[in-house]
Amino acid sequence: MNCPAPVEISYENMCFLIIHNPTNATLHKYTEELKKYGVTTLVRVCDATYAKAPVEKEGIYLLDCTGIHFRTKGPGQMQTSQIISAFY
C-alpha cells in the first residue's frame, strides 16, 4: 500500500486503528491489514471511496458515519447524546 502506516491508539480496554481511506482497488490489502490487527468494526468517517460489501464479507462490520453532522455545545464540544446515538 502506498499510504501512511496505520496508527494504533489504545485507551483502557479499547483499541483504535487509524488508517488512510482505501479504494475498491486497494481494499483487499486493507482488509488483510485490518485482520492482522484483529479489527471487528470499521467506522467510516470520510466520504465513501470503497464498497461496504467486500469489507463485511471479510467478517468486519462497517459503521458508516458519513453524512452525520453533530451539533456542538461550543467550540470543539459535541453533544454526548449525538455521539452515542450515532454509534448505536
Grid coordinates representing 59 are 467478517
Q: What is the pLDDT of residues 19-50, one digit of tens each?
A: 888 899 999 999 998 999 899 999 888 888 99
The pTM of the whole model exceeds 0.85: no
Domains, the chain, ordered by start: 7-87 (3.90.190.10)
CA distance linking residue 85 with residue 37, whole number of Å: 26
